[in-house]
């Protein structure tokens, strides 16, 4: 058939904007995640501490019978900045680590293993777009179980609690958001870096877990030998604890300088990002 007889011609309609293109990757990645019932159940469980803390706040201000029984509730059950810091530092830090463990290592490795990277990068998508698309999934999921419930709990307490409490503690929501994002990016980028370098998701998960556990254990060993805060510098969890307390203007539980904690997270994130970009290539060259 002569070319002029053919009806095919190039697409000349509107193209999706760059921002929306990134969302395509995020959308399909999220859809795949929520196909698993186990994951849905686990994600639901991640909200249990938030609900528990919410119930605790409600009961604190609504159980008249405690007052009638003359139980000094103001002395026993104090809801202050420490209450919210404990919420973020203990249940939510662990759950966010587990969520990153479940989700992160399986994000890039299947695309590399099954040779899907050329399919992505031969489209109008850069390496950065691809990474942002994947990262967005982790950031959103981890945000939903860290600073989002923390900020909501804060405002609910501000509503239920004593007058002026909100104004006195206005730095808290900002502290939660900033430090949570630092934690989220550290976890997410590390998970994605391991996913980019290790072919199999299961091995990447074990390595991700091992990396954080080992660094904490190493920190313990260093603390045992050298004393002081040096051991805490090896632990991402300790760095997070220091940052939250410092940002919230509360006494810092570990004597590590906040600058060291910030540096830890920055260095880890930067290293992870560099490793990811080295690995995301359209074609494997032997």
Partner 1 sequence: MNAVTYPQDNPHLWFTQLRAIIGIELGRVLFTSRATAIYVVAAVPIILLTTVGYIDNPRTGGPITGNIANARYAFAVIYAGFLLGTMVFLGSASLFISLFRGEILDRSLHYYLLSPVRREILAAGKYLAGLIASIGLFGTVTLVCYLLLYLPYGVSQMMSDFSSGPAARELTLYLLTTVFACIGYGAVFLLLGLFFRNPIFPILVLIGWELMHFILPPALKMISVVHYLKGIMPPQPWRGPIAVVMASPPAAVCMLALTGLTAVALILTVLRLKRIELRYTDS
Quote the Cα angle for 129-135-136, to 5°. 90
Q: Given candidates 221, 263, 266, 282, which one binds partner 1 under the rule CB under 8 A? A: 221
Binding status of residue 32 toward partner 1 by CB under 8 A:
no
Nearer to partner 1, 157 or 201 (CB): 201
What is the footprint of partner 1 within residues 93-122 (CB under 8 A)? 101
Nearer to partner 1, 216 or 273 (CB): 216
**Least distance in Å: CB of 111 to partner 1?**
16
Using the contact rule CB under 8 A, the part of the chain among 64-72, 140-148, 160-168, 216-224 near partner 1 is 216-224
Separation between Cα atoms, residue 248 and residue 172, nearest integer Å: 5
Binding status of residue 279 toward partner 1 by CB under 8 A:
no
Binding status of residue 264 toward partner 1 by CB under 8 A:
no
What is the footprint of partner 1 within residues 222-261 (CB under 8 A)? 222, 224-226
171: left (phi over 0), alpha (psi -120 to 50) or beta: alpha
User: What is the distance of C-alpha 284 from the center of its chain?
Assistant: 30
Binding status of residue 39 toward partner 1 by CB under 8 A:
no
Nearer to partner 1, 165 or 209 (CB): 209
Using the contact rule CB under 8 A, the part of the chain among 11-19, 194-202, 237-245, 251-259 near partner 1 is 194-202
Binding status of residue 40 toward partner 1 by CB under 8 A:
no
Reported for 221-226, long-range contacts at CB under 8 A and 24+ positions apart, including other chains, are none
Binding status of residue 51 toward partner 1 by CB under 8 A:
no
Nearer to partner 1, 128 or 202 (CB): 202
CB of 107 closer than 8 Å to CB of 134:
yes
Binding status of residue 65 toward partner 1 by CB under 8 A:
no
**Least distance in Å: CB of 42 to partner 1?**
10
11: left (phi over 0), alpha (psi -120 to 50) or beta: beta
Nearer to partner 1, 126 or 216 (CB): 216
Using the contact rule CB under 8 A, the part of the chain among 58-66, 175-183, 214-222, 251-259 near partner 1 is 214-222
Binding status of residue 201 toward partner 1 by CB under 8 A:
yes
**Least distance in Å: CB of 128 to partner 1?**
28
| Contact residues: partner 1, CB under 8 A | 101, 200-203, 205-207, 209-210, 213-214, 217-218, 220-222, 224-226
């Amino acid at each position: 058939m002569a070319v002029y007889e053919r009806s095919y011609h190039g697409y000349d309609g509107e193209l999706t904007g760059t921002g929306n293109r990134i969302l395509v990757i995020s959308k399909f990645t999220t859809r795949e995640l929520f196909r698993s019932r186990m994951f849905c159940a686990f994600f639901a469980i991640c909200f249990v501490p938030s609900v528990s803390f919410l119930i605790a706040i409600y009961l604190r201000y609504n159980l008249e019978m405690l007052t009638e029984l003359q139980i000094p509730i103001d002395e026993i059950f104090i809801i202050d900045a420490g209450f919210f810091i404990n919420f973020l530092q203990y249940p939510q830090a662990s759950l966010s680590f587990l969520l990153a463990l479940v989700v992160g290592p399986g994000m890039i490795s299947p695309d590399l293993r099954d040779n899907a990277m050329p399919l992505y990068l031969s489209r109008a998508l850069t390496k950065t777009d691809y990474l942002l698309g994947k990262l967005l999934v982790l950031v959103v999921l981890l945000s939903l179980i860290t600073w989002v419930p923390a900020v909501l709990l804060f405002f609910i307490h501000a509503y239920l609690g004593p007058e002026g409490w909100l104004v006195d503690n206005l730095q808290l929501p900002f502290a939660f958001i900033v430090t949570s994002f630092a934690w989220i990016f550290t976890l997410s980028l590390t998970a994605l870096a391991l996913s980019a370098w290790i072919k199999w998701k299961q091995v990447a998960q074990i390595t991700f877990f091992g990396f954080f556990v080992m660094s904490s254990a190493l920190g313990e060993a260093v603390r045992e030998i050298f004393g002081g805060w040096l051991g805490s510098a090896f632990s991402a969890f300790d760095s997070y604890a220091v940052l939250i307390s410092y940002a919230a203007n509360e006494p810092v539980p570990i004597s590590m300088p906040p600058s060291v904690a910030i540096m830890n997270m920055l260095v880890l994130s930067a290293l992870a990002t560099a490793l990811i970009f080295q690995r995301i290539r359209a074609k494997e060259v032997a």
